[in-house]
Structure 1
């Protein structure tokens, strides 16, 4: 127990030390630097395309470009197909369910629970896990975003699908032109499948139930405390619980959640502070703003490709940086959007940690569980 407490206390300090090492190793001309440049180019082009097309939330296009482009072109295509497919299906599910759920918060909470459990289970058990998770997250986003205006569900579903598609296709095109034409994603162990969820698959099921409970509580907690960015909190919980490996060791699983949550908060803080600091400059012209955005994205991509176990800090930092700087039809004029999103991310992370601690089983309770393959 003391060892776990010591590790928890040293985690932020150790993460910051590793982050410093990564930043000290920045190089532009090596293979890693070239990959970061491709990611940055894809994000910049996605932002330009989204602004030209006047989409509702251009930051979704930028984020999709950032997370879709992979080291090789075939890998980018494979990830892009899963991202577009999962988002499209999830948006459709959220739209068709919304008329029956918006006025009934209890039913809405139960559906959020079921969608999240299914998505997190799919991530762990299916060979197309990325699509399962995105489908659940997008359905949740549509349902929660439509709470204030039920009539907007169709608009939200279509906009999110379009924005994600713009960014993903941009990433694929950049990858096809500039990335190495290597082999597809390396083949790992076969997906464990959906059988025996209450036997050998119980660790995965328990992890998914914890995630579902966290998202289920979001509307109640957020309405009670009158907090902003309700949908961002739900997405945060799904992201923190998005782990593809769980085991019979409940303490190890909880530690993974804590590490991921710590990395998300730290990345969110760094990306948010950097973005808000740049907003204070009050960009009045497009090119300086795009250059500042590109610089932050490049650094985030560099950390995302870390081999020191802190890649999620880079991913989250870049995502929040993008969401802070990309707000509307051009350079942002207010810092409040960035502040609200930061509050949603932080609140969602704290909620999932609380749920994970409360639902953690004792070693005796989990002794019947078996190790699940990755």
Structure 2
């Protein structure tokens, strides 16, 4: 594993150097980066105005929804809001039962997380399923961590954060589409191929087994809280869900390779983003002007990497996630590192929970394949 990490890290470092040399070159990618910066800044302003608690999640929503045309951004935003509302509603309905004891919560996370992960991979409205699952997990786990707080608080703030980010993105995207992009028409700046929807009426056994593995990893979270008391485990659930969200076609040869590659990209991206955000916070001495300039720089770098070669795309996304989680404070009057570091640690701890489960599932699958291969073919055993 260490050798794999070292090789992967060296490849990312070389690709990162190449991408940084092209950062100041004007073009379609720079327009996209400017849109993301404006969207993130507006999302932060709106989230403070409407009383959202996790401002970094609102900022990341403003970043994630952005596409090259307002129609695409709007559609993506609507799916994100619908998924968030559905997930929050399911969590509110299930909380009175599931939060009674760790075993019930563990079972709820396994079923809820596994089902939504399955449809997030094969569903026609995969993006809505993604946020149904993420919101369901985040609300229940935050309710577990803050048992004396009303669960409605966590559900409502998730909705407010997504509404702030989505609204900011659609406003910026509309302005850009009808001004800059109309004057300088550009192709879609999101260079990654769009996922092909699989027919939802067909049962995908391989994807179902994969989703079950993810659900088992999610089911460990209540026990990690009971035994270790690690904060921000909702971020761990995001990591598990996001890392397991791989294309169905990549599972044909097993889950170990695609999941491990995705995990390494997330690890490297999160560490790099967290380090840059920490450096900016320390240098800024809580100056809003310096923090804003640093925020713009970090978002620009993350989006530039994300829109680069496919091998770098996921690392760029994770760079931005960790960067915003650490740098964007929930309260600018009291901007401190600890909440951001707690969330970053929660992101990284999700990999600690997931990796053993994936390895065990891989070994079981390989042993099963070997056993089946060793069985004599019916009708030939006696010949």
Deviation digits for residues 69-118 of structure 1 (CA, Å, limit 9, x no counterpart): 01222221121111111011101111111111112211111110011111
1:184-195 counterparts in 2 under 5 A?
Answer: 189-195=196-202
1:287-326 counterparts in 2 under 5 A?
Answer: 287-326=289-328
What residue number does 1:371 align with? none
1:282 to partner: Cα distance: 4.6
Deviation digits for residues 349-369 of structure 1 (CA, Å, limit 9, x no counterpart): 12211111111144463599x
Relative distance call for 1:319 and 1:190 in structure 2 (3 A) is: closer
What residue number does 1:89 align with? 86
**Partner Cα separation in structure 1 for residue 316 and residue 231 of structure 2:** 24
Deviation digits for residues 220-278 of structure 1 (CA, Å, limit 9, x no counterpart): 12331232211111111001111122456444x31110111111111110111111112
Contact 1:119–1:136 at 8 Å: present in 2 too? yes
What residue number does 2:100 align with? 103
Structure 1 gaps of 5+ residues are 369-374
* Residue 130 of structure 2 corresponds to residue 133 of structure 1: yes
* Residue 240 of structure 2 corresponds to residue 242 of structure 1: no
**Partner Cα separation in structure 2 for residue 105 and residue 170 of structure 1:** 38
Structure 2 gaps of 5+ residues are 373-383
Decide which moves more: 175-184 or 137-146. Answer: 175-184
Contact 1:42–1:66 at 8 Å: present in 2 too? yes
What residue number does 1:155 align with? 153
What residue number does 2:378 align with? none
1:166 to partner: Cα distance: 0.9
Contact 1:121–1:204 at 8 Å: present in 2 too? yes
Structure having the higher helix fraction is 2
SS at match of 1:365: helix
Contact 2:43–2:164 at 8 Å: present in 1 too? yes
* Residue 224 of structure 2 corresponds to residue 221 of structure 1: yes
SS at match of 1:280: helix
**Partner Cα separation in structure 1 for residue 4 and residue 282 of structure 2:** 37
What residue number does 1:372 align with? none
Relative distance call for 1:162 and 1:345 in structure 2 (3 A) is: same
SS at match of 1:309: helix
Contact 1:109–1:219 at 8 Å: present in 2 too? yes
Contact 2:47–2:160 at 8 Å: present in 1 too? no
SS at match of 1:327: coil
Normalized against structure 1, the TM-score is what? Answer: 0.89
**Partner Cα separation in structure 2 for residue 190 and residue 296 of structure 1:** 32
Contact 1:249–1:366 at 8 Å: present in 2 too? no
Deviation digits for residues 309-353 of structure 1 (CA, Å, limit 9, x no counterpart): 111111111111111111223165321112211211111012211
Contact 2:114–2:212 at 8 Å: present in 1 too? yes
